[in-house]
Each structure stands twice: as C-alpha cells, then as structure tokens.
Amino acid sequence: MSRKFFGTDGIRGRTNQGAMTAAMAMKVGQAAGTLFQRGSHRHRVVIGKDTRLSGYMLENAMTAGFTSVGMDVILLGPMPTPAVALLTRELRADVGVMISASHNPYEDNGIKLFGPDGFKLSDADELAIERMLGEELALAASAEIGRARRIDDARGRYIHAVKASLPASVRLDGLKIAIDCANGAAYQVAPSAFWELGAEIVAAGVTPNGQNINKGCGSTHPELLQETVVSAGCDIGIALDGDADRLIVVDENGKVVDGDQIMALLGTQMAARGKLKGGGVVATVMSNLGLERYLSGLELTLERTAVGDRHVLERMKSGGFNVGGEQSGHMILLDHATTGDGTVAALQVLAALVQSGKRASEVLHLFDPVPQLLRNVRFAGGKPLEATSVQAAIAEAEASLRGEGRLVIRPSGTEPVIRVMAEGDNADKVEAAVASICHAVEEAAA
C-alpha cells in the first residue's frame, strides 16, 4: 500500500486544506486510538502542540477522535516534540501526538505520532493508520467514552529531564547565552532550563502570538540570533525551530555553526570519553564532505542515510550508534532522547564549552567545509529526472567531480521540486555542475 497522507515526518500540510482539517485530525485520532488499544489496561494518549493558531483546532479535533473510541487524553499544551516523546513513556501512554509543522510557517501544521516506547511510529503502524482512515471505525459505548485532562507540571518534568542529561558537576555559571526559541514550542522550557543551570539568558523568539512561529527567527532564520549575540556581547547563541527538535548555534562573533559542526563536536567529545557507540556518527547524504574527512582522520566513520531524521534514527538503531543528525540541525542523542532534541543537544554543546575553558569560536569550528551548493528546481509535472538529457547532464557532472567531490540529486517528498546539490574541493566545478543539471531539468520540464 502506498502512502497518501504520511510523509517522512508524519502528516503535514496547509491548515483547513487537504489532510490538515479538523475532520481529518479527528479521524486520525480515531484510527490511532483504535490501533493502539492493545492489552486490557485503560488506554491513554499524550497530546502536545506548538504555538500555531491552528493548534487549538487540531488539538480539540484529535481529542474528540481519541475519546470517541474510548481512549483517555492527557493534554500538555505547548511543548517541544521531544517532550511529547519523553512524557509518552513516562506517563505510560499507549501513543503520543505532537501537533506541529516544525520549521514551516504558521499557515501549515502537522501531526507526528509516537509509540509507547517514545519512538516515531514504524512503517507498518503508519500504513495501518492510513488504511483505517478509509474505513468506518467502531465507536466506544457511551459508558466507555474517554476522558480528557490537562496536566500542569509538564514543563517542569521536561526541564528536569533535559537538565539530567548533564553531569551534576556541570554548571553554566558565567556564560551569557542568547537563545532564540522561534516563537515556538520551547519558548518557556528552554530559557528556563539554561537559567536554572546558572546561565545569564538573553531571550528572543519567546513571544508567540499564533502567527509568528518561525517568522524571521529560529534555526531557519539565524540572522536575529547573530545580531543578538553580537549586540548583547554573548558568549554563544542557541537557535531552535518551531517544535524544538532542531538546533543551530552561533559563536561569539556571530558566525553560524550548522549541524555538521555540532555532530563533529559531540561525536569527538564522546569518543574521547569512550562513550561513542558504533564507531562513528550517522548523518544524511546532505552532510558536508568536510565532516566525513574530519571523522575519518580520527578513525571514526560517517554513516550516510537518505534525508530525514527518521532515516537517521533507523540507521542508528540498527547499527548501534548513539550520535546522529542532519546538517539542518536535527540532533539525535540516543543516550538521552528517542527523537531529535535541540535543547538536550544545546546543553551538550554548552557543557563542552564550559569544560574546554575556550571561546565558542575555538570549540565549534573543527573542520573546514568544502564548497557546497544546493539549488531547487520547481517543475509542473512529469518525471524530468528520467529524461535522457538530464541523465546525460548528471553523468557529465559526476565525471567532472570524480575524486574530489560528490553529487546528490533528489526529488522533494512534499512538493514538485528537484533538489540538486554538489560539493567538492573546486568551487567553480561545483557551481558548473549544479548549473548544468538545473538547466537540463528546467529544459526537460518545460
């Protein structure tokens, strides 16, 4: 069965259109609630959300769906995605739901589902829910309809958990930290966690109004954080995205540090302490060749997967790795969380900074990335990558980069776009390779 609604990270789309309506959210709640009523205990679901205006609508719709099939609902309110994964396990829930479209603008929203182990659902469970969305599901008898309640201490539970990811001896006293929460799910918990560990906090992106999530702020728009770090004289800057599973760092000079450099730091720090599992780090095909060469020089491997933190996590679990992520800032540290957690990853970075006694610029730039260029080509329809002219352009570009670079070409999983990426030691060859392939795709799609 092919997927109609689930993508690489749950269900996502423009609200009140397509799959992201209140009616569909209620149906997803009914399907997931039916699927996860396994065993004879009283069943429950944990639901969190980010700060989008549409979160109210979808939260209520999903509550109706779950309760209508006999499942109790625990409402967390605005909380990071990793907090939902954590509390699903801690509260012994059968399923967890995060209502969020991550780094997308407020007009979009999404539904992410977690199993009772706190990991995102398996392909089999997602396909089962897809199938059930087209079926008439049995509703609970009147006496068996579920109840819903909101818990007030969810933020405190999560803050305690992320602080526990650090050794008790590590404090952040003396550090001045700028943190941009993207007006999203972590706008309360992340600044509180850093402050409780002793840091002086300069906060941005902490005034959500339902429509400003990710707008000119957060990990996808680091310019605000760069300005804040420099103008306030901060030691380091931390940027999260709308649901706080992604992290980008800015050093004291305002220079952006992406996920590749963060993985290099955390991987080598853990290797030095004998804590790195799997003999390396897991990343995607988009991670810079410089990272791969740096790790190789330390006799560590870089395992590459398809794009998406879901694929990274699958490879980590199958290969016994405990550090993985994406260049975009998804950081998965399986010793501390079952999904990407920007706040936990940020604390590991801050611990490394404290323990080194050095400036952020000295700690966070461990390798020089090779020139890398990514361009998107939008097309109206068809399969331009199958065109003979495009295949020839790709072959020619691969030949030009052979031995000193690489090429990654992939269709987007969510929109009619071909993503063309090249990297290599020669910037001119990289640019020429991308330009020739993009031109061929545009011609084939015309």
Catalytic positions: 102
Radius of gyration of the chain (CA): 22
Residue 27 three-state SS: helix
Which spans in 335-417 are helix H?
A: 342-356, 360-363, 388-401
Q: Residue 7: left (phi > 0), alpha (psi -120 to 50), or beta? A: beta
Structural contact between residues 249 and 259, judged by C-beta atoms closer than 8 angstroms: no
Q: Residue 183: left (phi > 0), alpha (psi -120 to 50), or beta? A: left
Whole-number Å distance between alpha carbons of 347 and 355: 12
Whole-number Å distance between alpha carbons of 349 and 242: 20
Residue 397 three-state SS: helix
CB burial of 1-32 (b: ≥16 within 10 Å; e: otherwise) equals: eeeebbbebbbbbbbeeebbbbebbbbbbbbb
Whole-number Å distance between alpha carbons of 240 and 220: 8
